[in-house]
Structure 1
Amino acid sequence: MDIQRLLTRLSLNIIIQFGVVVVIIGIAIAWNYDFIFQFYFENQQTRTGIIINSAIASLMLIGMLNILYHLIRYGREEQAIAGFVHNIESFKVDLMEGLPPHSIIVKRLLTMKSIEAAAGEINHSALSAMLTADESTKFGLIKFINNILILTGVLGTIVSLSIALLGASDLIDSAAGSLGGMGLVIHGMSTALSTTITAIVSYVIFGYFYTRINDVQTHLISGIEHLTSVYLMPQFVKRSDFIVNKMGDLIKSIIHATDNLKNTQKIYHASALTLKETISSNQEQINHMSVGMSEVKSLLADNIKNTQEIYHASTQTLQDTISSNQEQISRLASDLSEIKSLLREGFRLSPAHADDE
């Protein structure tokens, strides 16, 4: 999209030129005020020149104000186009966000939406012709002033020459040869000159700005039609070639998705094989661990059994030792008893006496 051309503020440039011209005219009038006052207002035998020049200046002023009004209006339309382009570049859902509801671009978008809602066919040429005709009707007064402005100068010249002819007739008919008729002739010629100059200057200035506002109108309509053809029409118009292109893009997308799916399946297959190998390897490791655990279990069982046997043998040996010790103690006790008996008999002691000693 040619954004730079759409963002060009041509109306603003013309408004600046308008202000410069007004300032220059004001300075020129102020600088030559004495000459202009003498040329247009002093020594006027009739008010014809003042009336015609005032009419020419009034027509020019009305036309220039009308041109200024349309320049300001087109400036707002150019701002709306710039805002619309900004919404497009920002990918906003609502393209009319922040735009004046009565702007041309908003009306064009709403018109196309209404036609689409009514299931009608959008004719870009018809929309363009309607917009051009609608804008042309708004320049009726400007066109009228542009066409008659130079004719007012011609009218002033004709009227002034008529006054001059009347003065010449009075001069001829005057038997006394008074100079009143001569003054009227000079007044008529002067009025013709002033009205002609006023009309020419007014027509040149007005014609320039009339041409420039036509350029602004053409630039604005061109921007509207550019946005319509480049952005709006593809959204609303579904032609056969457009559908074919969309189907082609859809088929390409499906092919691309299929290729991606195949690649994904290959990746899944490779992952499944890797997972299967990992599970097999883990199963072998688990089997080895099971065998090892069985061996450890049997070793522990044997060790426990041997420990129990050793414990049982140790217990039996201890019991035998205790029994043997008890027998020895019993024998020692009996031997001690015999020794006591022998000692008792040897010393011939009584049992009580022996016990006391």
Structure 2
Amino acid sequence: MLKLNRTRYSLTLLQILAVFSLLIGLVFFYRDQVTAFFQTTQAGQLGLALNGAILLIFLLGLVRMIFIFLAYSREQDVLQRFVKRAGENVSNPANTLPDSALVVRRYRAVQTIANQLAPVNQGALAATLVAGQQAQFTLVRFVNSILILSGVLGTVISLAVALMGAAGLMNSPDNMKNMWDIIGGMSNSLSTTVTAIVCYVFFAYFYLRLQDARTQLLANIEDVTSLYILPRFKYTEHNLLGDVALLTASLLKAAEGITQVQDRFLHVGDHLQLAVNDLQAVIAQSGNTILDIHDSVREGFRLEKEAPRA
């Protein structure tokens, strides 16, 4: 059965918007605590840069996810319209539909192959479609791979700053700036780790939902191909063999009919030959009777016999 419900896409988009709203709301209502968390010292400014980079990567991947979800939602809408037209036995269900839609491209591909009297390899078409959709996930996969690593990188950089402060403190124990560098570096290492983990949890969840949406869309494309597109085109290997078998059976029946007609003609010829022989016998008998009458009349009227012709 086809699952063409767009509720799943809408629900996921609402969840993404809810996460955006939650983050913005937390930053707005707890802006003093956030500012205190990222101290305004040099190390604190480094923490702002590192955590800002992590959030920027997270938001970049999330925005790309939103665009893909919207594209999949449009694909499902076109798919519903195509199935409705195909169910109504429209001659060309892809007419007036966007040419860039996946189902329209699949319909055109099958039509092109069928017009060339070549067998349609649905497995090859499905593999091509999957490869094309994989290319759409490059940025999302990249963000999903490096998001947690960006937190590790921020932790390493912050610990390096803390170690530099510790080294400076050992050279001048009375320098409080080095002490603040140590505290700020340790704080930044913790904040970048927490930020990366939280972002990764949300991103991984939406990434899995996006993969489920892609899988469902591709499955729907293949179902529509099997149920509505392929039956419209007879030029497959199986159908050609069936047509050849039907043609052979028809030729055998026609040959049997011709043989029967030939036998009938032979019987009719035999009867015709018998009729001709009978007619010749009758004509021969009639000819002798006429000569007898001719001689009787000549003798009755005492006519002279005709001289024989040269």
TM-score (norm 1): 0.64
Name the residue aligned to 1:211.
Answer: 208
Q: Which structure exhibits the higher relative contact order, with contacts defined as CA atoms closer than 8 Å and separated by 6 or more residues? A: 2
2:162/2:186 contact within 8 Å kept = yes
Within 5 Å, which residues of 2 pair with 1:271-290?
Answer: none
SS in 2 for 1:177: coil
Q: Distance in 2 between matches of 1:79 and 1:45?
A: 51
Q: Which runs of 5+ in 2 are unaligned?
A: 250-310
Q: Per-residue CA shift, 1:83-118, capped at 9, x if unaligned? A: 011112222222113422210000000011111122
Q: Distance in 2 between matches of 1:37 and 1:123?
A: 60
Q: Distance in 2 between matches of 1:8 and 1:177?
A: 65
Shift of 1:44: 4.5
Name the residue aligned to 2:27.
Answer: 29
Amino acid in structure 2 at the alignment position of 1:223:
N
Name the residue aligned to 1:86.
Answer: 84
Q: Distance in 2 between matches of 1:71 and 1:226?
A: 21
2:162/2:182 contact within 8 Å kept = yes
Q: Distance in 1 between matches of 2:77 and 2:197?
A: 35
Q: Per-residue CA shift, 1:291-348, capped at 9, x if unaligned? A: xxxxxxxxxxxxxxxxxxxxxxxxxxxxxxxxxxxxxxxxxxxxxxxxxxxxxxxxxx
TM-aligned CA distance change 1:89 to 1:240, over 3 Å: closer
What do you get for the CA RMSD once the two structures are aligned?
2.3
Name the residue aligned to 2:298.
Answer: none
Of 153, 156, 168, 2:154 maps to 156
2:158/2:188 contact within 8 Å kept = yes
SS in 1 for 2:93: coil
TM-score (norm 2): 0.73
Q: Distance in 2 between matches of 1:246 and 1:7?
A: 42
TM-aligned CA distance change 1:28 to 1:245, over 3 Å: farther
Within 5 Å, which residues of 2 pair with 1:5-84?
Answer: 5-45=3-43, 47-84=45-82
Whose radius of gyration is greater, 1 or 2?
1
1:7/1:81 contact within 8 Å kept = no
Q: Distance in 1 between matches of 2:163 and 2:199?
A: 27
Within 5 Å, which residues of 2 pair with 1:1-357?
Answer: 2-3=1-2, 5-45=3-43, 47-174=45-172, 176-236=173-233, 238-240=236-238, 244=242
Give the count of matched residue pairs. 246
Shift of 1:18: 1.4
Amino acid in structure 2 at the alignment position of 1:167:
G
Q: Per-residue CA shift, 1:31-60, capped at 9, x if unaligned? A: 322111211243444532121111111111
Q: Distance in 2 between matches of 1:16 and 1:179?
A: 49
Amino acid in structure 2 at the alignment position of 1:31:
F
Shift of 1:178: 2.8
